[in-house]
Amino acid sequence: MARTPFASPDAHIVVSSDGYFDVYPATGRSGGDRPAYRGRLAELGPGIRGGDDRLAVRPGSIALADAVSTWSADHGAAANRGELGGGRDGNEAKPAA
């Protein structure tokens, strides 16, 4: 599992190759903090999530960086304020394909 961090003015986002991304505040994060929001890769846009729910693009790709930047600008601040809920917590049922 690879984890790739991205920083923006609204949020610090860490994308996991295992099918999710974590959202943290843009500043003031320590190593043991829980994410304010955990999202599914599909939320980042088309082509980012593969058929097996894993990352479909390279972690260092421009496509992933652009998708994360767009998501963060649109939703990053709201995710950190708790307005999106907690997101995926790893315990809910998988969505139907």
Show contacts of 40-44: CB within 8 Å, 24+ apart. 40/87, 40/88, 41/15, 43/71, 44/15, 44/68, 44/71
Rounded Cα–Cα distance for residues 40 and 95 (Å): 11
- Length of the chain counted residue by residue: 97
Per-residue pLDDT of the chain (97 residues; tens, 9 = 90+): 789 999 988 899 999 998 899 999 988 767 778 899 999 999 999 999 988 888 999 999 999 999 999 999 999 999 999 998 877 754 444 444 4
Rounded Cα–Cα distance for residues 39 and 89 (Å): 9
Q: Residue 15 has what pLDDT?
A: 96
